[in-house]
Structure 1
Amino acid sequence: MAPMARDMDERGCSLSWPDDSPGGTVLARTTRERTVVELHGEIDLAVVLATTPQLYALTVAAVPVLVADLRAVTFIDCSGLAMLVDVRSRVLAGGGEFTMVCADPKVLRLLKITGLTSVLAPVPELTEDTGHGTGTGVGREA
């Protein structure tokens, strides 16, 4: 059962996710500096279809930095990878920055096999500086 959406967490960050997502969930929290999108569980076509409208809305938000956190992902298919590439493109087209956090060897291997390692440029952990132009994986299109 998917969690019920709340407006704010204990730190005052806004939270949102689909009320009835399939196998995986997507949680977004926004501060003044960045939006962190946490993907959990199995990210497949059903999750992509259920969450794409909310993710697209985040790409046009006023916060210029979007971090996709895949540390809790147990499975991701080609539709999930395509969604990440599309979200990254939308963020960069709007002049923002995109960073993907992932250290799972299986997901990293999939990125390498598909040739997306250089496109999505994963960083191993989420820190206060992740997505603020201080590490690899942060990009702006020229």
Structure 2
Amino acid sequence: MNLRLTSLFSAALLALLCAGTAQAAETTPAAQLQRWSAQAGASGNAAKGQTFFNAKHGGEWSCASCHGTPPTAQGQHANTGKVIAPLAPAFNAKAFTDSAKVDKWFKRNCNDVLTRECSAAEKADVLAYLNNLK
């Protein structure tokens, strides 16, 4: 194989690997709920999720502080004013469809609201609540 053909083959292989990685991250809100429920060892509870979402947990903010009540319309970050897309999957087709983003934002937002990472059960409950909003 000559050097040019080897380079083209390597580039094509890298593109396929990257495409496979990107697709592996794609998911559905229902699959996210299933993932966190499995980790929690119990199904998400929408009523608990709604209570958790709207409550302040010893800090100044709740989830609803930025995402609204219910989170079916655009929200606004309480500190920066940045516009936030609707969080409920029925009102935002992209919500909870990328596992890496789900993990990133749960970690970041739970730290803002709770000053700790959310448990798998808390994530499952919030997702059950959000997935039930129509």
**Greater helix content:** 2
Compute the TM-score of the two structures, normalised by the length of structure 1.
0.25
Which protein, 1 or 2, shows the higher relative CO under an 8 Å CA cutoff with sep ≥ 6?
2
